[in-house]
Amino acid sequence: MTPSSSPVIGIIGGSGLYQIDGLTDVSWRQVSSPFGAPSDALCFGTLEGTPVVFLPRHGRGHRVPPSEINFRANIDALKRAGVTDVLSVSAVGSLREDLPPGTFVVVDQFIDRTFAREKSFFGTGCVAHVSVAKPVCRRLGDAVMDACGDVTIAARRGGTYLVMEGPQFSSLAESELYRAWGCSVIGMTNMPEAKLAREAELCYASVAMVTDFDSWHPGHDAVTVDQVVSVMHANSGKARALVKNVVPRLGGHAGPCVHGCQRALDHALITAPEARDPAMLAKLDAVAGRVLKR
Ligand SMILES: CSC[C@H]1O[C@H](OP(=O)(O)O)[C@H](O)[C@@H]1O
Ligand SMILES: Nc1ncnc2[nH]cnc12
């Protein structure tokens, strides 16, 4: 994949986004990855002329819990499917009074508190260090904000998403700690997804749909799945409208990402060429083929 390829939009659907409206020429296809099994087959289709690949993050029927999602296989499979831009959609709890349930937050920072997940495609035999100082693509975020405006969704630009391991919701003390850190929302899935998208040189943006006030809120002393699911149903119609509106905007984009997402590996590899492990390089053909082949 060269940085100037025409856009193919990947949508990773979280809790509440299990399908895309208006998709034509739909086919579900298994895409295998050297990193293991993705959460499900990938759904290929076209939305107003733009190719789209949809992946339900937890699999169809929400079978896979956050800690068992094979994030590497998901991102690698999307890259193999030709995806250039990934839009992630997630349910989150709110850590701020001014982000009530129903609000969509186009997050721009993460604090990664996960500890039981594979976080890199690279490792012994081929070491790389990419920057995630700015972990999301501003061009994608702009398009999402414009699309939210068109379909009158209450959206906030910017915010920090605290990624917890789960699957239990947070304790009151944890929730208050994350508030003291200035975080905006909390969820269990956007890391290492965003880090891996950066390693794979994919543009990535995340829309966090608030379903609840996390456990800190005086009116809600415990988060429950019932509560999350009922708001999630209300959010999911809006999420589908947003996706339908944003895809043609992203599809109209020409040329490589001006923010450099598609060149993230240019200065990241540190292992000397003669010290690289051929088996490792073979696994990295999709993710890092652009820089490994030169
Ligand atoms: C159903 S509530 C908890 C669940 O929802 C979020 O997942 P996603 O980001 O895929 O929408 C949260 O992170 C938890 O995995
Ligand atoms: N309060 C919360 N904590 C973690 N993940 C969530 N997903 C939705 N609500 C959440």
Spatial separation of the C-alpha atoms in residues 156 and 97, rounded to whole Å: 13
Q: What is the count of structural domains for the chain?
A: 1
57-66, 189-198, 215-224: the lowest-pLDDT one? 215-224
Give the rounded percent of residues in the chain with a pLDDT score beyond 90. 88
Tokens standing for residue 138: 């501003």
- In this prediction, residue 36 has a pLDDT band, given cuts at 50, 70 and 90, of very high
Is position 195 within any domain? yes
Spatial separation of the C-alpha atoms in residues 20 and 8, rounded to whole Å: 15
Residue 94: pLDDT over 60: yes
Residue 43: pLDDT over 60: yes
Q: Which residues span the domain enclosing 187?
A: 9-292
CB neighbours of residue 28 within 10 Å = 12
Whose CA is closest to atom 1 on ligand 1?
15
Contact 31, 55 (CB under 8 A): no
Check pocket membership of 228 for ligand 2, CB cut-off 6 A. yes
Spatial separation of the C-alpha atoms in residues 223 and 227, rounded to whole Å: 7
| Ligand 1 centre distance from Cα of residue 189 (Å) | 7
Residue 148: pLDDT over 70: yes
Which pLDDT value is given to residue 294?
A: 66
Model confidence, pTM: 0.97
Which pLDDT value is given to residue 16?
A: 87
Residue 235: pLDDT over 90: no
Section 48-63 average pLDDT: 96
Residue 52: pLDDT over 60: yes
Indicate the average pLDDT of the chain: 95
Higher-scoring residue by pLDDT: 254, 218: 218
Is position 23 within any domain? yes
Is position 225 within any domain? yes
Strands 42-47 and 50-56: antiparallel
Is position 223 within any domain? yes
CATH assignment of the domain containing 145: 3.40.50.1580
| Ligand 2 centre distance from Cα of residue 38 (Å) | 23
Is position 1 within any domain? no
Rg (CA), the chain: 18
- In this prediction, residue 222 has a pLDDT band, given cuts at 50, 70 and 90, of confident
Residue 2: pLDDT over 80: no
Is position 4 within any domain? no
Which pLDDT value is given to residue 5?
A: 67
Residue 197: pLDDT over 60: yes
Nearest ligand to the CA atom of 16: 1
Beta strands (DSSP E) in 6-56 are 9-13, 24-29, 42-47, 50-56
Side-chain half-sphere CA neighbours of 266 within 13 A: 7
Is position 2 within any domain? no
Residue 231: pLDDT over 60: yes
Contact 85, 139 (CB under 8 A): no
Side-chain half-sphere CA neighbours of 212 within 13 A: 25
Which pLDDT value is given to residue 220?
A: 74
Catalytic positions, written as ranges: 212, 214
Section 94-101 average pLDDT: 97
Check pocket membership of 232 for ligand 2, CB cut-off 6 A. no
Residue 255: strand, helix, or coil: coil
* Phi, psi of 123, rounded to the nearest 5 degrees: 170, -160
Is position 159 within any domain? yes
